[in-house]
Amino acid sequence: MGICDGRVAIVTGAGGGIGRAEALTLAQEGARVVVNDLGGSVSGDGASTGPAAQVVEEIVALGGEAVANTDDVADFDGAGRMVQQAIDAFGRLDVLVCNAGILRDRMLVNMTVEEWDAVIRVHLRGAFCPVRHAAAYWRERSKAGDANDARIILTSSTSGIYGNPGQTNYGAAKAGLAAFAIIAAAELGRYGVTVNAIAPSALTRMTESLGGPFAPREDTKAQMDPQWVANVVTWLAGPDSREWSGRVVETSGLRVAVAQGWHRGPGSESPPASPAEVGAVLAPLLGAADPPRLLGP
Catalytic residue annotation: 170
Alpha helices in the chain (DSSP H): 17-28, 50-61, 76-90, 113-120, 126-143, 158-161, 168-188, 226-237, 275-288
Neighbours of 62 (CB within 10 A): 11
> Which of these, 244, 200, 168, 208, lies nearest to 21 by C-alpha position?
200
Q: What SS3 state is found at 210?
A: coil
Distances from the Cα of 14 to the Cαs of 8, 185, 230, 243, in angstroms?
15, 24, 11, 26
Distance of CA 209 to the CA centre of its chain: 21
